[in-house]
């Protein structure tokens, strides 16, 4: 079992002792790091990863609210209220990661375990809800982008899909979006038929290369690839990004078929698409 890593910031010695006894009695494997103020807490977090932070409402260098605002998105934060005057910042936390509780009674040391477990559980639930909201917002953004791409392709008169690639470039915040031939299996040896690049970036000189491609299969069996590339930040392409690229690839293939086959419908003759993800 992985030890529970706890960061204690200016916590009273008797509380630290009760917490340790409580965790031990409950069968927890744990490691405790004690620091004296907010500056030391930030330094400790830069050096190690912790499962939770526990502090009190009055620190030597001020209220813990700003500390929790900095660290609250990376770990649960439990602020013990003991002797704080009414109306202090810790009485009305502005976000769900700040859990304010009175200290457990001295004759109930095992209550510390419940306090820590509840704080971690509530933080995990809050983070899950936040992630669900972000995923929903991302889905709406990608759906809007796909609709914009469809409109652009419907309005193209000279078979140049750069406007579509620009939409993908902006929405996915990548270094480059392109369509390339498959004359060679070597990514760099394959000519880019269409390409747009983020302003101020030189993808060929970037420190990283994270690539995601979707194959555009033609009716004659040939292939081109719609791809996105990030050379600034290492990326793991998520499901929403992959689905957006697949949707746009389908639209591009449909547009090609529509413009090369007289009298066919917009969605006639679509071929399947395959994707490949690369990162280095």
C-alpha–C-alpha distance, residues 224 and 83, integer Å: 69
In sequence order, the β-bridge partners of residue 192 are: 180
3-class SS of residue 178:
strand
pLDDT of 280 > 60? The answer is no
Query: What are 175's two structure tokens?
Result: 């270094």
Residue 83 pLDDT exceeds 80 = no
pLDDT of residue 126: 84
Which one, of 188, 277, 202, lies nearest residue 235 by Cα?
A: 277
pLDDT of residue 266: 31
Task: Give the percent of the chain with pLDDT over 90.
Answer: 34
Give the residues across from 5 on adjacent strands: 31
On the 0-12 / 13-18 / 19+ scale of CB atoms within 10 A, 271 is middle
- Residue 248 CB-half CA count within 13 A: 35
pTM of the model: 0.53
Q: How far is CA 226 from CA 33, 81, 196, 242, 278, in A?
A: 50, 56, 12, 11, 14
Spatial CA neighbour of 176 closest among 209, 149, 152: 209
Most confidently modeled range among 26-40, 72-86, 206-220, 224-238: 26-40
Closest CA to 102 of 132, 131, 75, 81: 81
Of the ranges 75-79, 208-212, 261-265, the best mean pLDDT one = 75-79
Residues contacting residue 177 through CB under 8 Å, at least 6 positions apart: 165, 166, 168, 169, 195, 196, 226, 227, 228, 229
Q: What is the mean pLDDT of residues 91-112?
A: 57
Give the chain's mean pLDDT.
Answer: 79
Task: Over range 32-51, report the average pLDDT.
Answer: 94
Residue 158 has pLDDT above 80, yes or no: no
A 10 A CB-CB count for 207 gives 8
Residues 56-65: tens digit of each pLDDT: 888 898 888 8
- Domains assigned to the chain: 4-128 (3.40.50.2300), 156-279 (3.30.450.40)
Q: What is the pLDDT of residue 160?
A: 66
Collapsing DSSP states into helix, strand and coil, what is residue 13?
A: helix
2-11, 121-130, 164-173, 211-220: the lowest-pLDDT one? 211-220
Per-residue confidence (pLDDT) for residue 187, from 0 to 100: 54
Predicted confidence (pLDDT) at residue 275 exceeds the cutoff of 70: no
Amino acid 36: pLDDT: 93
**Proportion of the chain above pLDDT 70, given as a percent:** 73
User: pLDDT-derived band of residue 207, with 50, 70 and 90 as boundaries?
Assistant: low
């Amino acid at each position: 079992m992985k030890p529970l890593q706890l960061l204690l910031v200016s916590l009273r010695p008797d509380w630290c002792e009760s917490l340790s006894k409580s965790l031990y009695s409950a069968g927890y494997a744990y490691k405790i790091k004690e620091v004296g103020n907010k500056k030391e807490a930030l330094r400790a977090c830069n050096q190690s990863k912790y499962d939770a932070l526990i502090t009190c409402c009055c620190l030597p260098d001020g209220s813990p609210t700003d500390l929790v605002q900095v660290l609250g998105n990376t770990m649960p934060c439990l602020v013990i209220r003991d002797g704080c005057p009414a109306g202090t910042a810790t009485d009305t936390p502005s976000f769900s990661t700040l859990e304010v509780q009175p200290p457990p009674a001295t004759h109930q040391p095992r209550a510390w375990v419940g306090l820590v477990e509840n704080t971690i559980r509530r933080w995990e639930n809050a983070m899950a809800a936040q992630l669900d909201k972000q995923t929903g917002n991302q889905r709406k953004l990608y759906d809007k982008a796909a609709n914009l791409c469809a409109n652009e392709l419907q309005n193209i008169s000279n078979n140049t899909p750069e406007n579509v690639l620009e939409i993908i470039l902006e929405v996915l915040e990548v270094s480059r979006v392109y369509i390339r031939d498959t004359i060679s299996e070597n990514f760099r040896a394959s000519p880019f038929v269409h390409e747009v690049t983020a302003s101020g970036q030189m993808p060929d000189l970037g420190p990283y290369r994270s690539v995601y491609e979707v194959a555009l299969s033609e009716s004659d069996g040939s292939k081109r690839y719609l791809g996105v590339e990030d050379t600034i930040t290492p990326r793991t392409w998520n499901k929403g990004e992959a689905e957006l690229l697949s949707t746009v690839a389908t639209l591009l293939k449909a547009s090609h078929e529509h413009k090369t086959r007289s009298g066919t419908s917009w969605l006639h003759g679509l071929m399947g698409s395959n994707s490949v993800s690369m990162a280095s």
